[in-house]
Amino acid sequence: MGYAKESISSVVYYKAYNDFQWSEKQMDFDTVDRDIGLKDKKHRRIYEGDIVLYYLSESFVERRGLVQINEETQQAELVDLRQGFITPINVESYNLFEHDKLEVVSHAFTENSELR
């Protein structure tokens, strides 16, 4: 497992999970999680495979959902981990979740490999 980040000057840096420094030497990744274009309430980017806490409408019931990309529509959606229902993150150009309503708490590969 490793990470990649792009700097403001468009240079991509790579780091293995246990390394302490970023390097310009490219790593071969077998899976790349796509950025869905949103940030959570702590201003962290949200990627497919992230597990987020979220709320639907005005209910105060906290839910956990897996972020995934629908392969047919190429749109991000949340799969509720308890109920299994799927909620789109965007409908047309309207974002259903404001950044303060999502919080990244984990990732599928750290929770359970069967989630992905």
Which neighbouring-strand residues pair with 3? 15
Residue 101 identity: K
Q: What is the 3-state secondary structure (H, E, C) of 49-98?
A: CEEEEECCCCCCCCEEEEEEECCCCCCEEEEECCCCCEEECEECCEECCC
CATH number where 45 lies? 2.30.30.290
pLDDT at 25: 65
Pairing of strands 76-80, 102-107: unpaired
> According to the model, what pLDDT value does residue 15 have?
57
Q: Is residue 100 part of a domain?
A: yes
pLDDT at 113: 45
Q: How many domains does the chain have?
A: 2
Domain of residue 53: give its range. Answer: 35-107
Task: Please list the pLDDT of the chain residue by residue as tens digits (116 residues).
Answer: 555 655 555 555 555 555 556 566 666 666 677 888 888 999 888 889 999 998 876 667 889 999 999 999 989 999 999 999 999 988 887 888 776 688 999 888 776 644 54
CA atoms of 116 and 112, how far apart (whole Å): 8
The answer to whether position 114 is within a domain reads no
pTM of the model: 0.72
Answer for the pair 51, 44: CB distance below 8 angstroms, yes or no.
Answer: no
Distance CA 46, CA 103 (A): 9
